[in-house]
Structure 1
């Protein structure tokens, strides 16, 4: 049985607790490992950078379905607000009105609604996309500020959307289970008066099971100011990320069972 994936937080996420995480080459100085919890269930996992206020990456199972895209509110993550017993993502208004947090307490370690309200030329770029999930609950759980980055509008609506909606279905033909890690490389620019990092690149890697055959894997990367996606092998993507993250430690996203070529 293939032992893949995902990130260190998955050791505590019940549904993928046996999986092998990527190495720590991408870990930021001030990380948070989040089991994304909504409607009493775990849905995917995120490694979050509390200083830059963006996710490093989100890891999930690719399971597209016909459920309608929800008119969901945007959530924040109580787990990032000091010591409390709240495990489920929640609207910031609920945290303020019902749980007596202040807005400053919420903003200290994560992005909030106002950070994305005045974006120009940028969109809410999901790392775990709504359309890669099947149920209403799974889709709704992707609408959290710990799962998005400021993404170039033309890219988000153009070639990155094409990768998510057309390339992924084609690549996963014949796969029984597909695991995905999608991330963002921190950039030198910021939005919201310096509060939120604008990534220089967005990337995605996938590894899938094909019955009892050798698994297959692939990757993609795009600069966050161009409407262009480069399709790569898993090995090529790992090498590219190793350089983008300074080259001090080689990036390894999946274990050796996933082919690099």
Structure 2
């Protein structure tokens, strides 16, 4: 009986992660942005939440989340690929229900007793009931983080967008697994920001937006000097299996066009644009 009780306690502990909704990335989890400089506010939606994704008392990446569209705008992290296994469930962020009533721990939905879980964020049913061929597309991929706890931390729905399966399992996967490995060869540290441009279609009866584009940007440091940077962008539409690789400057220009002509800056100006 005692052994069963201990197993139940252990299982309960493993179901809980730690995250934190903060007022500014410059004062919390700033380490995931080169020179502690987040992207320009052009990308910030009206109903935004800044989330420091933390597991086992350690931050692993940062996410800017759109509570109206119920998708992340971007996730920022330091590229350090490793090996491990996937978490077998999906976390939600209780602080997006009510920051005053819940602590700084993300949790599996069954541990939260609230009728308002899905008011400001996506829930598992939004994806499992989708009739379109979309995957749960990571912005910060589990394979880009080294420690097992870091990889688990990526399995939160605040880090997920509806991404068409052909792209997610095809050209975008090649970019994540092969292109990034090749481009980061020789880098001592690589800062990455991966994001999604809001689209005009949705899943789950309009609850969760399907992004029109998925993009990613990286800045490579040798020692403490940013020596090169690059980007990638892909249309997130049915049947598309093409990723465009481009320099950081061209990516920022493209995003500026997609955001109605507003200037988009992803990294501190020291990162090369050409």
In the superposition, the TM-score normalised over structure 1's length comes to: 0.91
User: Which residue of 2 is the match for residue 107 of structure 1?
Assistant: 118
Count of aligned positions: 247
Query: Which sections of structure 2, spanning at least 5 residues, go unmatched?
Result: 1-22
**1:260 Cα deviation after fit:** 0.3
Per mean C-alpha deviation after superposition, the further-off stretch among 12-21 and 228-237 is: 12-21
**Aligned equivalents of 2:121, 2:224: Cα separation in 1:** 42
Q: Distance in 2 between matches of 1:106 and 1:242?
A: 33
Aligned counterpart, 1:210: 222
> Given the superposition, is the C-alpha separation of residues 24 and 212 from structure 1 closer, same or farther in structure 2, using an over 3 Å criterion?
closer
Asked if residue 38 in structure 1 is aligned to residue 52 in structure 2, the reply is: no
Alpha-carbon distance change, 38 to 167 in structure 1, aligned in 2, over 3 angstroms: same
Match for 1:230 among 244, 248, 255?
244
The higher radius of gyration belongs to: 2
Question: What is the aligned counterpart of 1:157 among 169, 174, 184?
Answer: 169
What is residue 69 of structure 2 aligned with on the other side? Answer: 52
Q: Is the 8 A contact 1:31 1:49 kept in 2?
A: yes
- 2:8 aligned partner: none
Describe the shift of the 1:237–1:188 C-alpha distance in structure 2 as closer, same or farther (beyond 3 A). same
RMSD of aligned alpha carbons: 1.6
How many angstroms apart in 2 are the aligned matches of 1:44 and 1:173?
Answer: 22
The partner residue of 1:64 within 68, 81, 88 is 81
Taking the aligned partners of 1:194 and 1:139, their CA distance within structure 2 comes to: 30
Paired residues of 1:128 and 1:142 also in contact (CA < 8 A): yes
Q: Say which SS state the counterpart of residue 37 (structure 2) adopts.
A: coil
Give the SS at the match of 1:155: helix
**2:254 aligned to which of 240, 243, 252:** 240
TM-score (normalised: structure 2): 0.86
Q: 2:110 aligns with which of 93, 103, 112?
A: 93
Cα distance per residue 1:61-103 (max 9 Å; x no partner): 101012x22233100001211222411211010112xxxx22x
Aligned to 1:75: 91
1:108-131 residue CA offsets vs partner (Å, 9 max, x unmatched): 100001001123311000000011
